[in-house]
Amino acid sequence: MSTNQEAPESQVKTETETDAEKHTELVEHEFTVEELTEALAQSEQKAQENWDKAVRAQAEMENLKRRTQKDLEDAHKFGLTNFAKELLPVLDSLVLGLQAATGDSEDVKKFREGSELTIKQFESVFAKFKIETIDPIGQPFNAEQHQAMAMQAVEGAEPNTVVNVFQKGYMLNGRLLRPAMVLVAKAAEKKPTDSPSIDEQA
C-alpha cells in the first residue's frame, strides 16, 4: 500500500524537476545587445516595407478614383458624340436644300420658311447640348479644327486665312466632332522680273 502511495510522489518530483530544467534553459539564454539591435532593425525594415505597401495601395486607390471620376465626366460630356455626328449630315442636307431653293413662287417661299425654322431648331438643340459651330471664314487656318480642301491666291486676303467654308465644322464640349472643310488663301505668286541682258561680247 505504501509503495503505491510513494510512486505518485516520485512521479510528481520528476515532472517538477523537468519543468525547472526547461525553465532554467530558457532563462540561461540572454540576448546580447547585437542580437537585439539586429532584431530591432529587421522589425523596422518589415514595418517600413509594410508602410510602403500601404502608401502604394492608397495611391493606387486615389488614382483609380480619379480615373473613374474622369471616365464618368467624359461619359456625361461626350455621351452624345456618335448621335451628334449622325445628325450633322441631316443638318447639312437642310442647309443645301435651302440654298438650292430659288424662285419667288409661294411653294418655294413656304419651303424656305420651313427649312429656316427647322435649321433654327437644330441650332437651338445644339446650343442646349453644347455643340458649337465652326464657321471660320476670314480667320487664320487652324489645322486642329479646319481641313483645307484647297489653297488659292485671293486678292486682298492674308495668306493662310480661310476665304471660303465648304462645310461647317462642329465641336462638342470643346472636343472636335467634325472639322470645317475650307478654302485657304495662299500668297500670290510673284512674276519673275525680266533680268537685264548681259552683253557677252563686251
Tell me the pLDDT of the chain (202 aa) as tens digits: 444 455 455 554 555 555 555 555 555 568 888 888 988 999 999 999 999 999 999 999 999 999 999 888 888 888 889 999 999 999 999 999 998 888 888 989 999 999 999 999 999 999 999 999 999 999 999 999 999 999 998 888 889 999 999 999 999 998 999 999 999 998 877 665 555 555 544 4
pLDDT of 17: 56
Homologous superfamily in CATH for domain 132-189:
Head domain of nucleotide exchange factor GrpE (2.30.22.10)
What pLDDT, on the 0 to 100 scale, is given for residue 154?
87
What's the order of all strands across the beta sheet hosting 146-153?
146-153, 180-186, 162-167
Q: What is the pLDDT of residue 16?
A: 54
pLDDT of residue 202: 42
Distance, in Å, from the CA atom of 112 to the CA atom of 98, rounded to the nearest integer, reads 6
Phi, psi of 72 (to 5 degrees): -65, -45
pLDDT, residue 20, reads 52
pLDDT at 145: 95
Strand 180-186 and strand 146-153: pairing? parallel
For residues 172 and 80, is the Cβ–Cβ distance under 8 A?
yes
Residue type, 151: M
pTM here is 0.61
Alpha carbon distance 14, 21 (integer Å): 11
Report the interhelical angle of 81-100 vs 106-128 (nearest 10°): 160
DSSP-derived 3-state class of residue 163: strand
